[in-house]
Amino acid sequence: MAGFSLELNEDQRDLRDWVHGFAKDVIRPAAPEWDEREETPWPVIQEAAKIGLYGFESLATWFADPIGLSLPLATEELFWGDAGIALAIMGTGLAVAGIFSAGEPEQLAEWVPECFGDENDPKVAAFCASEPQAGSDVSGYRTRARYDEATDEWVINGQKAWATNGGIANVHVVTAVVDPALGARGQAGFIVPPGTPGVASTRKIKKHGLRASHTADVFFDEVRVPGRCVLGGKERLEARLARAREGKRAGGQAAMATFETTRPTVGAMAVGVARAAYEYALEYAKDREAFGRKIIENQSIAFDLANMRMEIDAARMLVWRAAWMGRNNVPFEAGEGSMSKLKASEVAVWSTERAIQILGGAGYTREHPVERMHRDAKIFTIFEGTSEIQRLVISRAISGIHIL
């Protein structure tokens, strides 16, 4: 391949350095406080909005990168700063991805600005897919949407679980079943506008990690949204359902289309956390003395650090490949998107655990950030498809067999 290069261009390097500076100077100093408070860090979100880091313009610019690396570069740096605060900043992007993957240009123009608000009054958005009894089984969703022809409205009823920004969001993007007989193929995505009656969140979830990011159950009780709020439009939905009823290929399913778009980004999140733990452990090992020498001079610790660096770099390469493929419409024929998320998430858990071990008893205390990084890392093997689901996707892709 003539001209092949892994070197970042000037714009990408500038982006990486800019986001890294914000993560270092703003996010990291605030991380312990918001982790303890377990509250949405609105002041940090507003600071990000003021400099243009939080908003549709920045997200659109990152998406527009023809190489596909701007979004994972920025994401890695934010999560290097702190995963909880970074998800509070990036969580809106999942809802935007939901609109982008299935919506019409008019829907993007109308609703995406509502997801972010502005620098004086920042807002957040929520993507509501998972349900208490379904988890990763998108075919088991029970939330229903029916069309009321008399009022040209969709009526949504059901419960969504573990929704990032659920209940505090200005805009909720919700997946719901419109034809139960079709299973996962009978679902659609809906935009629930700000202030819509019937949306309630009675329980904020207390979490092991990512404590600065708001997670909640959301209930939809006879929630009426305008007919234009079905993603992709009613005509396109009806045509897709008709093809499914005839047994023909019906196109992407609402929730899965969003997850396919975001899995490399989730991988980049995990890489950021893993890298932060590795760098902290490396500096600690170079400074800490035991038995008359720096602990990095012990082969076991030096080898651990070498393995951490190798695994992190390998995970990043998988993320970059999947991001490039996604941006350039190269099919994930071997589950490359799932590979990137799977590898990076498991590396994050392993690397943060090794960092604690290198610090010893100090690593288990809140005087050092690696215990927080370890708590934060675990979620990446669970949300947006567990490690088991990623292996299922990959195995089906490489075998062509519907493995259960």
Task: Report the C-alpha dihedral over residues 331, 248, 402, 260, rounded to 10 degrees.
Answer: 40
d(CA 371, CA 262): 27
**β-bridge mates for residue 164, sequence order:** 215
Kind and range of the H or E run holding 189:
strand 187-192
Reduced to 3 states (helix: H, G, I; strand: E, B; else coil), residue 335 is coil
CA–CA distance from 262 to each of 127, 165, 255, 304 (Å)?
A: 12, 17, 11, 30
Reply yes or no on whether 36 is catalytic: no
* Cα 245 versus chain centre, distance: 32
d(CA 63, CA 323): 10
Residue with tokens 């655990």: 353
d(CA 324, CA 327): 5
Residue with tokens 């590396």: 347
Cβ contact 340:267 at 8 Å: yes
Pick the catalytic residue from 235, 333, 384, 388.
384
Q: Among 42, 192, 82, which Cα is nearest to 128's? A: 192
CA–CA distance from 8 to each of 65, 107, 177, 178, 275 (Å)?
A: 12, 33, 43, 45, 18
User: How open is the CA angle 257-190-341, to the nearest 5 degrees?
Assistant: 25
Reduced to 3 states (helix: H, G, I; strand: E, B; else coil), residue 67 is coil
Cβ contact 278:308 at 8 Å: yes
Q: Give catalytic residues, as residue numbers.
A: 384
